Amino acid sequence: MNGDLHSHPRAHPHAIFRDWTAEMLVTELTDDDRKWVQERTELLFGGDFVVSRDEVHDPHRLPGYIATEGPERIGLVTYNLTGEDCEIVSIDSLCQFMGVGTLLLEKVEEVARAAGCRRLWAITTNDNLDAQRFLQKRGFVLTAVRLGSMSKIRLLKPNVPKVGYYGIPVRDEIELTKPLFSR
Ligand SMILES: CC(C)(COP(=O)(O)OP(=O)(O)OC[C@H]1O[C@@H](n2cnc3c(N)ncnc32)[C@H](O)[C@@H]1OP(=O)(O)O)[C@@H](O)C(=O)NCCC(=O)NCCS
Protein backbone atom coordinates (compact mmCIF):
# COMPACT_ATOMS: atom_id res chain seq x y z
CA MET A 1 0.00 0.00 0.00
CA ASN A 2 1.50 3.26 -0.46
CA GLY A 3 1.23 6.82 -0.79
CA ASP A 4 -1.89 7.54 -2.39
CA LEU A 5 -3.02 4.39 -1.39
CA HIS A 6 -5.08 4.66 -0.96
CA SER A 7 -7.71 6.59 -2.15
CA HIS A 8 -10.34 5.15 -4.19
CA PRO A 9 -13.84 5.60 -5.17
CA ARG A 10 -16.20 5.45 -2.26
CA ALA A 11 -17.50 2.03 -3.07
CA HIS A 12 -14.93 -0.70 -3.49
CA PRO A 13 -14.89 -1.24 -7.26
CA HIS A 14 -16.13 -4.56 -8.44
CA ALA A 15 -16.28 -6.01 -4.96
CA ILE A 16 -17.81 -9.44 -4.80
CA PHE A 17 -20.11 -10.20 -1.88
CA ARG A 18 -21.14 -13.80 -1.40
CA ASP A 19 -20.76 -16.82 0.81
CA TRP A 20 -17.28 -18.05 1.36
CA THR A 21 -17.40 -21.73 0.67
CA ALA A 22 -14.70 -22.83 -1.71
CA GLU A 23 -11.00 -23.21 -1.19
CA MET A 24 -8.84 -20.19 -1.76
CA LEU A 25 -5.34 -20.42 -3.18
CA VAL A 26 -2.54 -17.89 -2.78
CA THR A 27 0.10 -18.08 -5.48
CA GLU A 28 2.96 -15.95 -6.65
CA LEU A 29 1.97 -13.22 -9.10
CA THR A 30 3.03 -14.17 -12.62
CA ASP A 31 3.39 -12.22 -15.87
CA ASP A 32 -0.10 -13.43 -16.84
CA ASP A 33 -1.52 -11.50 -13.87
CA ARG A 34 0.22 -8.19 -14.53
CA LYS A 35 -2.38 -6.67 -16.83
CA TRP A 36 -5.09 -7.47 -14.28
CA VAL A 37 -2.99 -5.98 -11.47
CA GLN A 38 -2.60 -2.82 -13.55
CA GLU A 39 -6.37 -2.64 -14.12
CA ARG A 40 -7.11 -3.15 -10.44
CA THR A 41 -4.63 -0.43 -9.49
CA GLU A 42 -6.33 1.98 -11.88
CA LEU A 43 -9.74 1.19 -10.45
CA LEU A 44 -8.71 1.39 -6.84
CA PHE A 45 -6.08 4.08 -6.73
CA GLY A 46 -7.04 6.49 -9.48
CA GLY A 47 -4.12 5.60 -11.78
CA ASP A 48 -1.92 2.62 -12.60
CA PHE A 49 0.79 3.72 -10.19
CA VAL A 50 0.95 4.57 -6.52
CA VAL A 51 3.05 7.13 -4.68
CA SER A 52 4.64 6.55 -1.31
CA ARG A 53 7.25 8.63 0.49
CA ASP A 54 7.49 10.70 -2.70
CA GLU A 55 8.36 7.64 -4.78
CA VAL A 56 6.31 6.31 -7.67
CA HIS A 57 5.66 2.56 -7.82
CA ASP A 58 4.02 0.45 -10.51
CA PRO A 59 2.35 -2.42 -8.65
CA HIS A 60 2.07 -4.42 -11.90
CA ARG A 61 5.87 -4.54 -12.14
CA LEU A 62 6.47 -5.61 -8.54
CA PRO A 63 6.57 -9.02 -6.91
CA GLY A 64 3.38 -10.10 -5.24
CA TYR A 65 0.73 -12.72 -4.66
CA ILE A 66 -2.69 -13.41 -6.09
CA ALA A 67 -5.58 -15.04 -4.27
CA THR A 68 -7.82 -17.21 -6.41
CA GLU A 69 -10.97 -19.21 -5.93
CA GLY A 70 -11.24 -21.68 -8.78
CA PRO A 71 -10.51 -19.75 -11.98
CA GLU A 72 -11.38 -16.41 -10.39
CA ARG A 73 -8.89 -13.90 -9.01
CA ILE A 74 -10.20 -12.55 -5.71
CA GLY A 75 -7.30 -10.57 -4.31
CA LEU A 76 -3.77 -9.34 -4.78
CA VAL A 77 -0.88 -7.93 -2.86
CA THR A 78 2.33 -6.36 -4.16
CA TYR A 79 5.41 -5.48 -2.17
CA ASN A 80 8.81 -3.84 -2.40
CA LEU A 81 11.84 -5.07 -0.45
CA THR A 82 14.48 -2.47 0.34
CA GLY A 83 17.13 -3.58 2.80
CA GLU A 84 15.50 -4.16 6.16
CA ASP A 85 12.18 -2.74 5.05
CA CYS A 86 9.32 -4.31 3.18
CA GLU A 87 6.59 -2.04 1.88
CA ILE A 88 3.13 -3.37 1.14
CA VAL A 89 2.68 -1.34 -2.02
CA SER A 90 -0.86 -2.47 -2.76
CA ILE A 91 -3.33 -4.87 -1.24
CA ASP A 92 -6.72 -5.40 -2.76
CA SER A 93 -9.38 -7.84 -1.67
CA LEU A 94 -12.35 -8.37 -3.97
CA CYS A 95 -14.16 -10.36 -1.28
CA GLN A 96 -13.90 -8.16 1.76
CA PHE A 97 -14.25 -9.44 5.32
CA MET A 98 -13.77 -13.09 4.40
CA GLY A 99 -10.11 -13.57 5.18
CA VAL A 100 -8.55 -12.83 1.78
CA GLY A 101 -6.61 -9.75 2.95
CA THR A 102 -5.28 -11.57 6.01
CA LEU A 103 -3.93 -14.47 3.95
CA LEU A 104 -2.24 -12.13 1.48
CA LEU A 105 -0.71 -10.04 4.25
CA GLU A 106 0.57 -13.15 6.03
CA LYS A 107 2.22 -14.29 2.82
CA VAL A 108 4.15 -11.04 2.42
CA GLU A 109 5.12 -11.08 6.07
CA GLU A 110 6.54 -14.56 5.56
CA VAL A 111 8.57 -13.35 2.55
CA ALA A 112 9.79 -10.29 4.44
CA ARG A 113 10.91 -12.33 7.44
CA ALA A 114 12.69 -14.81 5.17
CA ALA A 115 14.48 -11.89 3.51
CA GLY A 116 15.64 -10.63 6.91
CA CYS A 117 13.46 -7.53 7.01
CA ARG A 118 12.90 -5.79 10.31
CA ARG A 119 9.86 -3.77 9.28
CA LEU A 120 6.74 -4.16 7.21
CA TRP A 121 5.08 -0.88 6.34
CA ALA A 122 2.18 0.48 4.39
CA ILE A 123 0.46 3.73 3.67
CA THR A 124 -3.22 4.39 3.57
CA THR A 125 -5.40 7.48 3.59
CA ASN A 126 -7.33 9.11 6.40
CA ASP A 127 -10.68 7.95 5.00
CA ASN A 128 -9.70 4.29 4.70
CA LEU A 129 -11.00 3.15 8.04
CA ASP A 130 -11.26 -0.49 6.91
CA ALA A 131 -7.55 -0.58 6.04
CA GLN A 132 -6.61 1.20 9.28
CA ARG A 133 -8.60 -1.30 11.29
CA PHE A 134 -7.25 -4.21 9.25
CA LEU A 135 -3.61 -3.20 9.69
CA GLN A 136 -3.77 -2.15 13.34
CA LYS A 137 -5.45 -5.39 14.32
CA ARG A 138 -2.60 -7.22 12.62
CA GLY A 139 0.27 -5.62 14.51
CA PHE A 140 0.80 -2.38 12.60
CA VAL A 141 1.15 0.91 14.51
CA LEU A 142 0.85 4.46 13.23
CA THR A 143 4.33 5.78 12.49
CA ALA A 144 3.63 8.91 10.46
CA VAL A 145 0.80 11.13 9.38
CA ARG A 146 1.32 13.51 6.46
CA LEU A 147 -1.35 16.11 6.86
CA GLY A 148 -2.74 17.47 3.62
CA SER A 149 -0.32 15.41 1.49
CA MET A 150 -3.07 14.15 -0.80
CA SER A 151 -3.21 17.56 -2.51
CA LYS A 152 0.35 17.02 -3.67
CA ILE A 153 -0.42 13.48 -4.83
CA ARG A 154 -3.39 14.81 -6.82
CA LEU A 155 -0.97 16.86 -8.91
CA LEU A 156 0.40 13.53 -10.18
CA LYS A 157 -2.92 11.70 -9.99
CA PRO A 158 -5.82 14.01 -10.68
CA ASN A 159 -8.25 11.08 -10.57
CA VAL A 160 -7.73 10.50 -6.87
CA PRO A 161 -11.15 11.40 -5.50
CA LYS A 162 -11.73 14.29 -3.10
CA VAL A 163 -14.19 12.22 -1.10
CA GLY A 164 -13.38 8.64 -0.16
CA TYR A 165 -14.77 5.85 1.97
CA TYR A 166 -17.76 6.63 4.17
CA GLY A 167 -18.01 10.07 2.56
CA ILE A 168 -14.82 11.22 4.33
CA PRO A 169 -12.69 13.87 2.55
CA VAL A 170 -9.40 12.32 1.40
CA ARG A 171 -6.70 14.61 2.79
CA ASP A 172 -3.90 12.85 4.61
CA GLU A 173 -1.55 9.92 4.26
CA ILE A 174 -1.23 7.62 7.22
CA GLU A 175 1.83 5.41 7.47
CA LEU A 176 1.67 2.23 9.50
CA THR A 177 4.54 -0.07 10.41
CA LYS A 178 4.81 -3.54 11.85
CA PRO A 179 8.12 -4.41 13.51
CA LEU A 180 9.27 -7.90 12.52
CA PHE A 181 11.14 -9.49 15.37
CA SER A 182 12.85 -12.78 14.82
CA ARG A 183 10.81 -15.66 16.18
C1 LIG B 1 -8.03 -3.59 3.64
C2 LIG B 1 -8.41 -4.87 2.89
C3 LIG B 1 -7.24 -5.32 2.01
C4 LIG B 1 -8.72 -5.97 3.90
O5 LIG B 1 -9.01 -7.16 3.17
P6 LIG B 1 -10.13 -8.19 3.65
O7 LIG B 1 -10.13 -9.32 2.69
O8 LIG B 1 -11.41 -7.50 3.91
O9 LIG B 1 -9.47 -8.66 5.03
P10 LIG B 1 -9.93 -9.89 5.94
O11 LIG B 1 -11.24 -10.43 5.48
O12 LIG B 1 -8.81 -10.83 6.03
O13 LIG B 1 -10.08 -9.18 7.32
C14 LIG B 1 -11.04 -8.16 7.51
C15 LIG B 1 -11.99 -8.50 8.63
O16 LIG B 1 -12.90 -9.51 8.22
C17 LIG B 1 -12.99 -10.49 9.24
N18 LIG B 1 -13.24 -11.78 8.65
C19 LIG B 1 -12.35 -12.62 8.10
N20 LIG B 1 -12.97 -13.74 7.68
C21 LIG B 1 -14.28 -13.59 7.95
C22 LIG B 1 -15.44 -14.37 7.73
N23 LIG B 1 -15.38 -15.57 7.16
N24 LIG B 1 -16.63 -13.85 8.10
C25 LIG B 1 -16.72 -12.64 8.69
N26 LIG B 1 -15.66 -11.86 8.94
C27 LIG B 1 -14.46 -12.33 8.57
C28 LIG B 1 -11.62 -10.47 9.87
O29 LIG B 1 -11.69 -10.99 11.19
C30 LIG B 1 -11.31 -9.02 9.83
O31 LIG B 1 -11.84 -8.38 10.94
P32 LIG B 1 -10.87 -7.69 11.99
O33 LIG B 1 -10.04 -6.72 11.19
O34 LIG B 1 -11.81 -7.07 12.92
O35 LIG B 1 -10.03 -8.79 12.54
C36 LIG B 1 -9.70 -4.68 2.04
O37 LIG B 1 -10.63 -4.01 2.83
C38 LIG B 1 -9.49 -3.93 0.73
O39 LIG B 1 -9.12 -4.49 -0.28
N40 LIG B 1 -9.76 -2.63 0.73
C41 LIG B 1 -9.68 -1.83 -0.48
C42 LIG B 1 -8.26 -1.57 -0.90
C43 LIG B 1 -7.48 -0.98 0.21
O44 LIG B 1 -7.97 -0.15 0.92
N45 LIG B 1 -6.26 -1.47 0.34
C46 LIG B 1 -5.43 -1.11 1.42
C47 LIG B 1 -5.05 0.26 1.39
S48 LIG B 1 -3.85 0.54 2.62
Can you give the residue ranges of every domain in the chain? 25-179
pLDDT at 23: 83
Tell me the pLDDT tens digit for each residue of 100-130: 999 999 999 999 999 999 999 999 999 999 9
The alpha carbons of the chain give a radius of gyration, in whole angstroms, of: 15
- Per DSSP, which regions of 24-140 are E strands? 25-28, 50-52, 55-57, 64-69, 72-82, 85-93, 119-125
Dist CA 176 CA 183 (whole Å): 21
Dist CA 93 CA 74 (whole Å): 6
Which residue's alpha carbon is nearest to atom 9 within ligand 1?
101
Judge if the beta carbon of residue 102 lies within 6 A of ligand 1.
Answer: yes
Judge if the beta carbon of residue 68 lies within 6 A of ligand 1.
Answer: no
25-179 is a CATH 3.40.50.720 domain: no
Are the C-beta atoms of residues 35 and 154 closer than 8 Å to each other?
no
**Percent above pLDDT 90 for the chain:** 84
Average pLDDT over residues 146-159: 95
Tell me the pLDDT tens digit for each residue of 15-51: 544 545 358 999 999 999 999 999 999 999 989 999 9
This prediction's pTM:
0.89
Judge if the beta carbon of residue 133 lies within 6 A of ligand 1.
Answer: yes
> Is residue 7 pLDDT above 70, yes or no?
no
Judge if the beta carbon of residue 18 lies within 6 A of ligand 1.
Answer: no
Which residue's alpha carbon is nearest to atom 21 within ligand 1?
98
Residue from 7, 9, 14, 179 nearest 96 by CA: 14
Judge if the beta carbon of residue 132 lies within 6 A of ligand 1.
Answer: no
Residue from 123, 134, 87 nearest 108 by CA: 87
Which residue's alpha carbon is nearest to atom 41 within ligand 1?
92
